[in-house]
Amino acid sequence: MDLSGSQTRQTIITLGLLSGALILFTGAVGMIAAFHEREIVRDFITLGQLVLLITPFIFGYTAANRLGMTGEAPIVVLGGGIIIGLLTALPTTIMLLFNSDEFRFLLDWALRLAPFVLATAIAWRLYRQNVETLTVIGSWLLVAVLLGIVTFSLALIFEVKGELRSVLVNINRDWVEVVTFDHRKDLMRGIFIFSLASVAAGFLGSLCYYVPRTPRRALFYGLSVTLLVGAFGETVRLVLQENLERDTLNQLFRRDTLRGNAALGLLVVSTVIGYLWAAFGDRARQGFQNLGGQQRQTTGMIGTVLFVALLLMLPWLIGRTLSDVAVTIGLFVLMGLGLNIAIGLAGLLDLGYVTNYAVGAYILAVMTSIGPLGLMKGTFSFWMVIPIALLAAMFAGFIFAVPVLRMRGDYLAIATLGFGEIIGKLAISDWLKPLIGGAQGVQAIPKPIFLGTELKNPEQLYYIVLVACLITLFVSIRLNNSRTGRQWMAIREDEDVATAMGIDTARAKLLAFTLSAATGGVAGAIFAAKVGSVFPNSFTVFISINVLSLIIVGGIASNPGIVVGAVVLIGLPELLREFSDFRFLLYGALLIMMMINRPQGLIPTKIVTHEIRAGVKAKAAAGD
């Protein structure tokens, strides 16, 4: 077989097995069964089934892209899709067989044979590479014995426990029910349907490669919209509830699930919109670019006004539950914008940002609480304490910055990480207990009062966060384009050269840390007022990590990126609460995928895009 042929084979097998492993893994951790609980389209497909189908589809499409690029014939490309579908089903099918009563013996066999088969395969390879006979025999023995110990003990465990489930907790009835498409009783039929569906998905995926670009994009867009609306049916319903009649709503949804007709309609409409966008979107953008400066400014202004209007009306549009999510997102946007001053603008990797959040929260708690720990017993209102919290956080930022001014890069990150931990420990310590309540925290924090109304609903608190975000956004844009911003940029690039330009780097860094801390303090204070109590366990390193991640996912130093990053990383997990066990798994997977496929972030700044492209080019050049 020629080289290209073997490469094709390798691509297909690798992607197929990867896809299969993914499905088996998601099943084994219990994700598929949990996702099955959420129906996407009523009586048609659930989120669990979607995972089973979308995986071979995506891998089929990816493989088709790679094969098509190397100029393989359609028959090979489409065949590849089918094989990927089969390979996707393979590991899960084997697991199904192992799990069934009739085919249990297969597992025992497999476990007993595996060490010998593998050892022989490895020895054969070595033999082919003309390794000494003695070494070959030695490695055969080594592999067989080592692996044997593992598999034989596994076999023993299974024999004693009797069931696979006792070891792999999530390979259970529910899982079988989902992957056999509700044919648990008739296993063979279930496996057949599952494999067929998987093959069809893989085939369709590879077929998509031959669909012209515009309709393909339209279709992908339509499908994603429909599936997302279905998957987040509960949320969408909450939004629509605010604006639609009950009867209309019931025609679209049954409880939280999209009805079949509604889904079909949505698919058609969103595909058409997607088509229009794919066909004319570029031209529209081009047209905008070609507008004269005056017109462009006007269009931009109209856009901004519409956007702000939308933000102002948001609580009415989305209702209480989602307003609560919006407030949380807003708090993280606030912190993201703040931390971005240190990380994005000045290049100071600060991993202790939670410090500022905690300082703000505790200052507000202690100064306004009407409980036993309140210092002022109601003399200070929320509005008076916000500036104090801001200044206190800035002061904390300043104090913590002084000792680390001379540190760079990794060392700075570790030191700030330490500070974050110190704050957590201080908050829970006995030493400060009389002041801030130790593990019991501070309670009875009154809600803000504005013109005589108590702002106790998320819809009302939303406006406080919104205003804070807008002010911060304004300041941070101004900062970025100022002399100070240029100072930070120079320090980020090269501290020594920055000094040679006449920049006082120590002062600039102190300023960056101090300003960066400010919004953290405000966010903490608002958080404390929103929750009504403050506990030390709200201030863990995860806050710092979250804020850092949203900056990176959104696009470092990019203000719109930070907003999008917060929506994705903070908002989505809030909406996925019922899958709480898997939230962090998904979160991690998303981060890894992002860093591989889009390291510049979702909405990167021009400079970063350029830098990454240059990096890729340099790498390619070095590889030659």
Partner 1 sequence: MALLEVNDIHTYYGNIHALKGISFEVDSGEIIALIGANGAGKTTTLRTISGLMEPRDGAVRYDGEDISSTRADLLVSKGISMVPEGRGVFAKLTVEENLDMGAYTRRDKGIKDDLDRVFELFPRLEERKKQFAGTMSGGEQQMLAIARALMSSPRLLLLDEPSMGLAPVLVDGVFDTVQRIKNEGVTILLVEQNAHMALQIADRGYVLQSGEVALSDTAANLQQNETVQKTYLGID
Q: Note the residue count of the chain.
A: 624
Residue 150 pairs in a beta bridge with none
Would you tell me how many other CB atoms lie within 10 Å of the CB of residue 446?
A: 17
What's the CA gap between 114 and 148, in Å, rounded? 8
Q: Are 397 and 332 in contact (CB under 8 A)?
A: no
Which CB sits closer to partner 1, 186 or 611?
611
Which CB sits closer to partner 1, 278 or 503?
503
Which CB sits closer to partner 1, 381 or 499?
499
What's the CA gap between 391 and 409, in Å, rounded? 27
Among 284, 309, 402, 500, binds partner 1 (CB under 8 A): 500
Which among 193, 175, 429, 470 has a CA at the least distance from the CA of 330?
Answer: 470
**Of the listed pieces 62-70, 256-264, 481-489, 548-556, which binds partner 1 according to CB under 8 A?**
481-489
Smallest gap from Cβ 483 to partner 1, in A, equals: 8
Smallest gap from Cβ 621 to partner 1, in A, equals: 12
Among 19, 226, 487, 519, binds partner 1 (CB under 8 A): 487
- Applying CB under 8 A, does 254 fall inside the site for partner 1? no
Among 493, 537, 580, 581, binds partner 1 (CB under 8 A): 493
Where do we find the tokens 């504005």? 450
Which among 509, 518, 290 has a CA at the least distance from the CA of 390?
Answer: 518
In 3-state terms, what secondary structure has residue 454?
A: strand
Q: Are 69 and 77 in contact (CB under 8 A)?
A: no
- Applying CB under 8 A, does 499 fall inside the site for partner 1? yes
- Applying CB under 8 A, does 497 fall inside the site for partner 1? yes
Residue 93 pairs in a beta bridge with none
Q: Which two tokens stand for residue 544?
A: 């710092």
- Applying CB under 8 A, does 402 fall inside the site for partner 1? no
Smallest gap from Cβ 607 to partner 1, in A, equals: 5
- Applying CB under 8 A, does 340 fall inside the site for partner 1? no
Which CB sits closer to partner 1, 130 or 481?
481
Smallest gap from Cβ 613 to partner 1, in A, equals: 10
Which CB sits closer to partner 1, 246 or 483?
483
Which CB sits closer to partner 1, 356 or 487?
487
Among 2, 101, 410, 496, binds partner 1 (CB under 8 A): 496
What's the CA gap between 156 and 349, in Å, rounded? 51
- Applying CB under 8 A, does 490 fall inside the site for partner 1? yes
Would you tell me how many other CB atoms lie within 10 Å of the CB of residue 144?
A: 19
Residues 6+ apart with CB under 8 A from 254: 42
Q: Are 164 and 171 in contact (CB under 8 A)?
A: yes
- Applying CB under 8 A, does 486 fall inside the site for partner 1? yes
- Applying CB under 8 A, does 616 fall inside the site for partner 1? no
Which among 445, 335, 337, 354 has a CA at the least distance from the CA of 396?
Answer: 354
Smallest gap from Cβ 610 to partner 1, in A, equals: 6
Among 163, 282, 504, 581, binds partner 1 (CB under 8 A): 504
Smallest gap from Cβ 599 to partner 1, in A, equals: 15
Say which amino acid occupies 199: V
Among 213, 246, 283, 483, binds partner 1 (CB under 8 A): 483
- Quickly list DSSP for 525-537: HHHHHHHS-B-GG
Smallest gap from Cβ 514 to partner 1, in A, equals: 19
- Applying CB under 8 A, does 501 fall inside the site for partner 1? yes
Restricting to residues 1-60, name those near partner 1 by CB under 8 A. Answer: none
Smallest gap from Cβ 495 to partner 1, in A, equals: 10
Residues 6+ apart with CB under 8 A from 66: 11
Among 503, 534, 547, 562, binds partner 1 (CB under 8 A): 503
What is the per-residue burial (b if ≥16 Cβ within 10 Å, else e) of 576-589? beebeebeeeebee
Give the largest Cα separation in the chain, rounded.
90
Residues 6+ apart with CB under 8 A from 444: 369, 370, 371, 374, 532, 533
Which CB sits closer to partner 1, 33 or 503?
503
Among 505, 519, 538, 600, binds partner 1 (CB under 8 A): 505
Which CB sits closer to partner 1, 501 or 592?
501
Where do we find the tokens 């506990």? 535
Number of residues that bind partner 1 (CB under 8 A): 20
Which CB sits closer to partner 1, 37 or 493?
493
What's the CA gap between 219 and 272, in Å, rounded? 9
**Of the listed pieces 110-118, 349-357, 456-464, 489-497, which binds partner 1 according to CB under 8 A?**
489-497
Which CB sits closer to partner 1, 160 or 620?
620
Which CB sits closer to partner 1, 402 or 497?
497
Smallest gap from Cβ 619 to partner 1, in A, equals: 15
Which CB sits closer to partner 1, 215 or 485?
485
Q: Which two tokens stand for residue 365?
A: 């708690």
Query: Pattern 559-598, binding to partner 1, x per CB under 8 A?
Result: ----------------------------------------
Which CB sits closer to partner 1, 5 or 409?
409
Q: Which two tokens stand for residue 84?
A: 């990927």
Smallest gap from Cβ 492 to partner 1, in A, equals: 9
Own/partner long-range contacts of 110-118 (Cβ < 8 Å, ≥24 apart):
111/151, 111/152, 111/154, 111/155, 111/158, 112/151, 112/152, 112/155, 114/147, 114/151, 115/143, 115/144, 115/145, 115/146, 115/147, 115/148, 115/151, 115/152, 116/144, 118/143, 118/144, 118/147
Smallest gap from Cβ 624 to partner 1, in A, equals: 18
Among 399, 489, 531, 541, binds partner 1 (CB under 8 A): 489
Smallest gap from Cβ 499 to partner 1, in A, equals: 5
- Beta strand extents in 36-95 (DSSP E only): 39-41, 45-46
**Of the listed pieces 77-85, 281-289, 455-463, 492-500, which binds partner 1 according to CB under 8 A?**
492-500
**Of the listed pieces 152-160, 501-509, 537-545, 573-581, which binds partner 1 according to CB under 8 A?**
501-509
Q: Is 131 exposed, middle or buried (0-12, 13-18, 19+ CB in 10 A)?
A: middle
Which CB sits closer to partner 1, 378 or 615?
615
Binding site for partner 1 (CB under 8 A): 483, 486-487, 489-490, 493-494, 496-497, 499-505, 607, 610-611, 614
